[in-house]
Amino acid sequence: MIHTAHVVRADGSNTGIMREIAPLIADGLIDESSPPAELHPLADFRSGDILIRKPRFGAFHGTDLELILRTAQIDILIIGGIATHVCCDTTAREATARDFKVLFLSDGTACSSLPGTGTGPIEAEDLQRAVLATLAFGFGEVLSVDSTIHRIRTHDEQNKP
């Protein structure tokens, strides 16, 4: 299992333009020493799991994720997490651009509502549907957690010695 955390250096030296476009980053919300930069206790981090600290929304940019995946001969990624429309979406697109197959969890990701910028607010449910539809159109397969578990179990059963 590979977990990711969006974390930047406390001195801001690796934030770049993110400080300008994301005020919460400029305010230190995800500085490496801040509580939000840590994995949630319910994340179920286990021995052997890997934690990638990513300085941008996508898990590939500025990290060694691709090297870890290729070394382990992993070519299918199951993406779940918070911020469907930001971190999860960006990571799925980055993965597809690198020729990884993406399985995106429709009910293992979540959006928050957006205030809109001249277009009016966008409710979380509408945003979630739009992102999932876009990902399914050209970046990977969108399926539920239960469907993913079923697929893994079926694959394991079919490949038993």
Tell me the pLDDT tens digit for each residue of 84-108.
999 999 999 999 999 999 999 999 9
Entry pTM? 0.91
- Cβ–Cβ under 8 Å, residues 111 and 131: yes
Say yes or no: domain 56-158 is CATH 3.90.950.20.
Answer: no
Whether residue 44 has pLDDT greater than 80: yes
Give every CB contact of residue 118 below 8 A, 6+ residues apart in sequence: none
Q: Name the residue ranges covered by the structural domains of the chain.
A: 1-46, 56-158
Question: Do 79 and 91 form a contact (C-beta atoms < 8 A)?
Answer: yes
Q: What single-letter DSSP state applies at residue 120? A: -
Distance in angstroms (rounded) separating the CA atoms of residues 97 and 99: 6
**Average predicted confidence (pLDDT) for the chain:** 93
* N residues, the chain: 161
Q: Which residue would you say has higher pLDDT here, 109 or 117?
A: 109
Question: Pick the residue with more confidence: 62 or 34?
Answer: 62
Confidence of residue 160 (pLDDT cuts 50, 70, 90): confident
Residue 134 has pLDDT above 80, yes or no: yes
The span from the first CA to the last CA of the chain, in angstroms, equals 24
User: For the residues 49-75, what does the mean pLDDT come to?
Assistant: 96
Confirm if 111 and 67 have CB atoms less than 8 A apart. no
